[in-house]
Amino acid sequence: MNFRNALFALILGSSAGAAAALALGSSRGAVLLGRTVDLAFEVRPDPGQPLADACITADLVSGANPVPRSRVSVTPLPEIPGRPSLVRVQSSAIMDEPVLTVTLLAGCNGKTSRTYTFLVDPPASMAIGSRPVAIPRVEMPEVPRAAPAPAVPGEAVGSRSGSAMTSNAGVAAPASAPLAPSSAPLKGAAPSSASRSARKAAPKAPKAPEKETPRSRLVMEPLENWLETPAPLQLTTQLQLPEVPATPLQREQAQAQWKALNMQPEDILEESARTAELQAEVARSKTLADKDRAAALAVQQRLEQENAERYSATIVYGLLALLAGILAWAVWMGLRLRAATHQAQQAWAGAVAQPLPVTAEPVPQAVAPRPVQAVPPVPAPPPAAPAPAVR
């Protein structure tokens, strides 16, 4: 028992080690919108096995549309010491979907697969995002300072805020430019008002404009109503033909779609009128079909009611059989009585027609005499005298 378990564990360990020898690593490269696919993937083949004999294939799905394998090529890259083995996956199809799914299959006997999902990047936004942002320098025009007043307590404040006023001159120049001619004659007359305005106009230092980050242009649409919404038309630079030749029905459908896309307004109006007539005819046919269905349902209900009200066929057939038996018995009895009557009549007629039979007289039979006992003779009496005759 222990030897069997050890052998089973050894077999499982060897198979697991062989399966774990071939592995797929990370990917290298990016997918750009409007360009072909050119990616590289790390592959760790079996020890002593070249990468070309690993039977590596790739399946690409752009959005929800699979890319034909005839347009996908997998090429092992030359091995360089210190770098893992790489395979290059290229496709001649133009990427026009926001998501690309790559399924890499490796192994001849036991397949090892791994799925990679790439978000397609717009090339214009990548170029803008990788370029350094240049902030332009704005030259500030110089503003003449107001003459300081000797007896104004806010002089220190005005001298301290002079640099702030010069830095803000670019912002306040458009607003103060129209007022410069009118305020020129008043500078010498009212120095205190200039210093007061200088104290009030001491703003904070302007902040440097923030670096604008490029906005993402990739829009992810929800998949709840993806099957219900019609697919938008997309521009392509290649004519994609189906792998399977089109059937006559598919050709007719394509011709009908092409005709519908190239219809003129008058043709559209005629087609709309024809469609309205067809819809009205379909509505009438549907109404007639509903009426026929209702009539058929009424007839079916009537038949079911009649079937429920009538007697069972077994009882009827039994009564008919009984009646037939009674009739047969009556016929048999009548024939029998008729035969008996006929026989009786024939017997009576025969009896009347025959003569009476002569009956023979009975012949007396001789009776044997009885034996006489021996008796002594008795003397005979004397004869009596004859009686006189009477006249």
Element (H, E) at 306: helix 265-309
Average model confidence (pLDDT) for the chain? 72
What's the pLDDT tens digit per position in 323-379?
Answer: 999 999 999 999 999 999 988 888 888 777 766 555 555 556 655 566 656 556 666
- How far is C-alpha 256 from the geometric centre of its chain's CA atoms? 28
Half-sphere exposure of 36 (CA within 13 A, CB side): 11
pLDDT at 150 over 50: no
Six-digit token pair at 76?
């092992």
Prediction pTM value: 0.32
What's the pLDDT tens digit per position in 229-278?
Answer: 656 666 666 656 666 677 888 888 888 888 878 878 888 888 889 999 99
Note the pLDDT of residue 61.
Answer: 94
Strands 72-76 and 37-44, by their bridges, are unpaired
Closest among 214, 213, 212, 216 to 98, alpha carbons compared: 216
CA distance 349 to 267: 114
**Residue 351: phi, psi to the nearest 5?**
-70, -35
- Residue 129: CB atoms within 10 A of its CB come to 13
- Residues 43 and 134: beta-carbon distance below 8 Å: no
Q: Where are any strands of DSSP class E within the chain?
A: 23-28, 37-44, 57-62, 65-66, 72-76, 86-91, 99-106, 112-119
Per-residue confidence band for 12, with pLDDT thresholds at 50, 70 and 90 = low
Question: Which domains, and CATH codes, for the chain?
Answer: 2-124 (2.60.40.1220)
